[in-house]
Structures are given as structure tokens and as C-alpha cells.
């Protein structure tokens, strides 16, 4: 059985519950990427319905140093303030029913490169989806109205979150293709 078939079978099995979620991405640094990640997790939650038993998530990211000559104002621009960044991530995941622990790592060597989304199952298996370019592969089309692309990073985290909830933009992939890798691991002894 292929990995894709096994993952689909496990996610669709009435005997299998989703009990844990984690994501690690050194480049998870902008509102668009956070919104896309939350949409993926929420889509999984909707797919499995009552078999969703996750109440908390773990997100690991890399601390980015701010640039005083950089004035972000678009959904795909990076936060310059780590506190706002982590607060908005927590609020976004709280809105889909997940308390979120955000680990901010100081050194690039401390965080995985592969950008894995790990889905822990009740059978002690883990479905791992590795996004070659993380959420950063997708972008808002240039044809999108300027006001819909704008994002005010100077607002309090709660207002940034509110703005992000209203951002219902379509996304497209970049010109170069990306890869998504899938694996299923058995953690049973």
C-alpha cells in the first residue's frame, strides 16, 4: 500500500482519532502563512469531524531579527515584533479551538528545515506532511485589490487577528513548483 493510500485510510478510519498536531517552520513569519496553516489544520478538523480530539497544538518557529529600515504593510510581509507574531498565532489557533504553545528558537540549527506538520493518531501512528517551502510557497495574486493585501503590523495583536479573520484572499503557487512529502510512522513499541 502506498504512503498516500495508508494516510488516507488512517484519516478516514472510523476507529482512528486525531489526538495531536504540531508544526515546525523556521520561516513562519507572516500573516498569510499563519492564516494558510490554520486553514489546513481547520480543514483537517472538519474532515475528521467527531474523531478530532485535539485541544492543543505546538508550533515551533525561528526568531527573526527586526530590520529598522523595513516597513511591512502587506499580508505576506514578515512581522518585525516576535511578541505580536506569537500572540497572533495563538489567537488564530484559538479561533479554531486550539490552545497553542509557540516555541521561538534562537538558532537556525535548533529547528528542523523540513517544515513538518505532524498529525498524531490514537493508534500511536504519526502522519507527517513535509512542505518543501512551508506555507511560503503560496502567495496572493498580484491582481488582488491593494486594500485586500494590506496589513497593519502596528495594530495590537487582537486587531491584527481580527484583520486576518477578514482576509479571505485566494492564493496561488509561485512560478516554480514545490514538493510535499508524506510519511506514516508507527510509534508503537
Q: With a threshold of 0.95, does the pTM exceed it?
A: no
How many structural domains does the chain have?
1
Of 18, 7, 1, nearest to 180 by C-alpha is 7
d(CA 11, CA 80): 37
Q: CB–CB of 61/113 below 8 Å?
A: no
Looking at residue 171, its pLDDT comes to 74
Looking at residue 45, its pLDDT comes to 97
Q: CB–CB of 119/129 below 8 Å?
A: yes
Q: With both helix axes pointing from N to C terminus, report the angle between 157-166 and 82-94 in degrees, rounded to the nearest 10.
A: 50
d(CA 165, CA 91): 10
Looking at residue 175, its pLDDT comes to 77
Domain that holds residue 180: 3-186
Residue recorded with cell 493518531: 121
- Give the bridge partners for 105, in sequence order: 62
Q: With both helix axes pointing from N to C terminus, report the angle between 31-48 and 157-166 in degrees, rounded to the nearest 10.
A: 60
d(CA 85, CA 32): 12
Torsion of CA 13, 17, 23, 29, to 10 degrees: 90
Looking at residue 169, its pLDDT comes to 63
**Residue 98 belongs to domain with CATH number:** 3.30.870
How is residue 9 written as a grid cell? Answer: 485510510
Looking at residue 2, its pLDDT comes to 87
What is residue 17's three-state secondary structure?
coil
H or E element, residue 85? helix 82-94
**Tens place of pLDDT for every residue, the chain, 189 residues?**
788 888 999 999 999 999 999 999 988 999 999 999 999 999 999 999 999 999 999 999 999 876 767 889 999 899 999 999 999 999 999 999 999 999 999 998 899 888 999 999 999 999 999 988 778 777 777 767 767 788 999 999 999 999 988 876 677 777 778 888 889 999 876
Looking at residue 123, its pLDDT comes to 95
Looking at residue 51, its pLDDT comes to 97
Amino acid at each position: 500500500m502506498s504512503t498516500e493510500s495508508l494516510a488516507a485510510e488512517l484519516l478516514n478510519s472510523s476507529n482512528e482519532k486525531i489526538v495531536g498536531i504540531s508544526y515546525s517552520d523556521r520561516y513562519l513569519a507572516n500573516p498569510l502563512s499563519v492564516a494558510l496553516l490554520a486553514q489546513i489544520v481547520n480543514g483537517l478538523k472538519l474532515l475528521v469531524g467527531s474523531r478530532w480530539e485535539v485541544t492543543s497544538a505546538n508550533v515551533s518557529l525561528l526568531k527573526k531579527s527586526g530590520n529598522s529600515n523595513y516597513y511591512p504593510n502587506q499580508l505576506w510581509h514578515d512581522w518585525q515584533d516576535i511578541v505580536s507574531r506569537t500572540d497572533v498565532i495563538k489567537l488564530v489557533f484559538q479561533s479554531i479551538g486550539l490552545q497553542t504553545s509557540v516555541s521561538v528558537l534562537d538558532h537556525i540549527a535548533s529547528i528542523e528545515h523540513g517544515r513538518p506538520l505532524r498529525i498524531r493518531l490514537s493508534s500511536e501512528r504519526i502522519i507527517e506532511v513535509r512542505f518543501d517551502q512551508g506555507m511560503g510557497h503560496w502567495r496572493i495574486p498580484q491582481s488582488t485589490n491593494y486594500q485586500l493585501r494590506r496589513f497593519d503590523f502596528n495594530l495590537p495583536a487582537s486587531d491584527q487577528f481580527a484583520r486576518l479573520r477578514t482576509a479571505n484572499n485566494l492564493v496561488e503557487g509561485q512560478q516554480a513548483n514545490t514538493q510535499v512529502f508524506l510519511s506514516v510512522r508507527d510509534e508503537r513499541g
